Structure 1
């Protein structure tokens, strides 16, 4: 019981910190030069959000993830309470079997793949919405 209270308090504190930090991305300016660099993208990394911003899977999944509260514990490229979406995408291929497995983990809860902090069950979410979120997450490969 004491462990559950400690974990709950920790999740609340980390959620509050994550919420207060906001998402404020970095501003960068690009400069044009006549260098012999073959790939300008290599000199200026593009965020996953910028890379997929026009993809319909990204747009729908991102909106559902925000509506469903996923962003309280997960971020696209940075671990907070749970793994980043990019880390999940790196670990799992985008297959129907993995979409089904991860959807079940979100709906029913799971612990073990990412350390001691459990993924709590979210039975109140519609299965179709969770599948949309999982497909979005698996899209975010670096």
Structure 2
């Protein structure tokens, strides 16, 4: 019984931050165009993580792109600027996206 409780607590400790970040993405309307594991209008978050894996400047590039918008990297459909999203939320979301496998 103790082992099962410990396992459940361990799983929830890892799942809670991911769920919170997905909720943050939903709150800021990111999920209108993106999903974790499939292309919607924009690329899947996991594809973004894969593309920028190993790029030490990726976080700064993506924070700027989320705030200012961009086009051409993932196709013809532009990403609109998201200046209304707080800097703290953008940084949290970008770190989360880059952490996905």
TM-score per shorter chain, which class?
0.7 to 0.9
Structure 1 residue 55: Cα displacement: 5.9
Bigger strand share: 1
CA RMSD of aligned residues (A): 2.2
What's 2:76 paired with? 116
Moved over 6 A (4+): none
- Show structure 2 runs of 5+ residues with no match: 1-10
What's 2:42 paired with? 82
CA distance in 2, matches of 1:55, 1:96: 26
Equivalent of 1:64, from 24, 36, 45? 24
Bigger helix share: 2
Determine whether 1:107 maps to 2:67: yes
Q: How does 1:48-59 map to 2 (within 5 A)?
A: 54=15, 56=17, 58-59=18-19
CA distance in 1, matches of 2:15, 2:78: 32
CA distance in 1, matches of 2:91, 2:64: 9
Give aligned pairs, total. Answer: 90
Pick the structure with greater CA Rg.
1
Instruction: Give the TM-score normalised by structure 2.
Output: 0.79
- Show structure 1 runs of 5+ residues with no match: 1-49
What's 1:140 paired with? 100
